[in-house]
């Protein structure tokens, strides 16, 4: 690696970016011959800046600065984490803009309520589940992907929703082996968008674990919206006819009662787990409900790969998004 390239990578890492995201953004056309060209080195900086949300100062070889650093709101990330805030926000907005350019605009989320979205999902499905939420998002022109490469050295982002010119894109970061936890995370992020929590070229970044008792008003509102979308009620009351039950018994009860109410059984188990503070038993019940544990991100990104208009992207952006999503590069 030549001296200038090594210096640039060090500069990006010092700005808080991970080796993985730098590698993902690094253009495939870069070579030793390109390193010897002044114009190619300039194009390299332009390419990295577009993908990572860097300011024009970074193009001139000055210290790295992020374009959208001050336009994002962070949940559960302290104000002292300035480097992390800048890297997360600018990366997210840059990726969100890229996704929206490759997704057909249909209808803004802000025109719909939780009840309307729920009815739209149930028009074609028995319950509101992850598959139904993904279908309604893509059907409305809201791209949803699951990141496999993260901008920070330590993975800390649960999810992010980005607003661009009245439209929204959602980036998921939370891993799970069963769909229900990811369905709630996605419903929560949809809530942020519908409730008008995000302005143009801005983002809300959810970091760490969600809490239903969060003092942040927007987080409580997004939680309530998500629960109503998934269950039909912002505050569902769930009762059982026995006080103590096994994970297997809970799974069987949810499989029977959930579909009758338009609630996905895994979601019902998690709601009961929260209500009774029985998280361990509710999580164990998911194993009986779904039977097979599988990485949920693979399904989310399989749907995204089928829905994105790859031919509307540059070859370079196709490669970048493929890297971020952990999918094979499609033919653009």
Whole-number pLDDT of residue 83: 64
Burial of residue 220 (number of CB atoms within 10 Å: 0-12, 13-18, 19+):
middle
The answer on pLDDT for 65 being more than 60 is yes
Q: How far apart are CA 41 and CA 23, in angstroms?
A: 16
Residue range 97-110: average pLDDT?
A: 93
Number of domains the chain contains: 3
Same domain, yes or no, for 38 and 127? no
The answer on pLDDT for 296 being more than 90 is yes
Confidence (pTM): 0.90
Give residue 240's domain range: 236-291
Same domain, yes or no, for 247 and 224? no
Same domain, yes or no, for 90 and 135? yes
Same domain, yes or no, for 104 and 160? yes
Whole-number pLDDT of residue 79: 45
Same domain, yes or no, for 74 and 194? yes
The answer on pLDDT for 290 being more than 90 is yes
For the stretch 260-286, pLDDT in tens is 999 999 999 998 888 777 888 889 999
In a domain, 332, yes or no: no
Whole-number pLDDT of residue 192: 94
């Amino acid at each position: 690696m030549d001296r200038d390239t090594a210096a640039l990578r060090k500069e990006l890492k010092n700005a808080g970016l991970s080796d993985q995201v730098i590698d993902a953004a690094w253009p495939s056309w870069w070579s030793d011959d390109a390193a010897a060209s002044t114009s190619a080195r300039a194009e390299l900086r332009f390419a990295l800046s577009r993908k990572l949300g860097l300011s024009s100062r970074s193009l001139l070889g000055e210290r790295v600065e992020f374009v959208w650093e001050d336009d994002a709101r962070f949940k559960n990330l302290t104000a002292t984490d300035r480097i992390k805030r800048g890297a997360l926000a600018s990366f997210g907005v840059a990726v969100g803009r890229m996704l929206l350019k490759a997704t057909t605009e249909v209808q803004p989320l802000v025109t719909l309520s939780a009840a309307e979205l729920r009815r739209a999902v149930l028009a074609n499905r028995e319950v509101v589940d992850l598959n139904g939420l993904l279908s309604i998002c893509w059907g409305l022109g809201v791209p949803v992907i699951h990141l496999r490469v993260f901008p920070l050295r330590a993975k800390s982002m649960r999810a992010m929703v980005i607003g661009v010119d009245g439209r929204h894109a959602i980036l998921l970061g939370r891993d799970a082996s069963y769909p229900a936890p990811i369905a709630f995370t996605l419903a929560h992020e949809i809530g942020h968008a519908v409730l008008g929590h995000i302005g143009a070229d801005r983002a809300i970044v959810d970091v760490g674990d969600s809490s239903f008792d969060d003092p942040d008003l927007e987080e409580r509102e997004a939680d309530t919206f998500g629960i109503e979308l998934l269950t039909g009620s912002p505050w569902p009351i769930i009762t059982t006819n026995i006080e103590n039950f096994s994970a297997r018994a809970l799974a069987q009860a949810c499989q029977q009662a959930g579909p009758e109410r338009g609630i996905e059984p895994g979601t019902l188990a998690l709601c009961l787990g929260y209500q009774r503070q029985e998280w361990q038993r509710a999580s164990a019940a998911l194993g009986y409900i779904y039977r097979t544990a599988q990485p949920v991100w693979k399904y989310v990104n399989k749907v995204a790969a089928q829905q994105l208009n790859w031919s509307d992207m540059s070859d370079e952006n196709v490669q970048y998004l493929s890297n971020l999503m952990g999918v094979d590069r499609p033919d653009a």
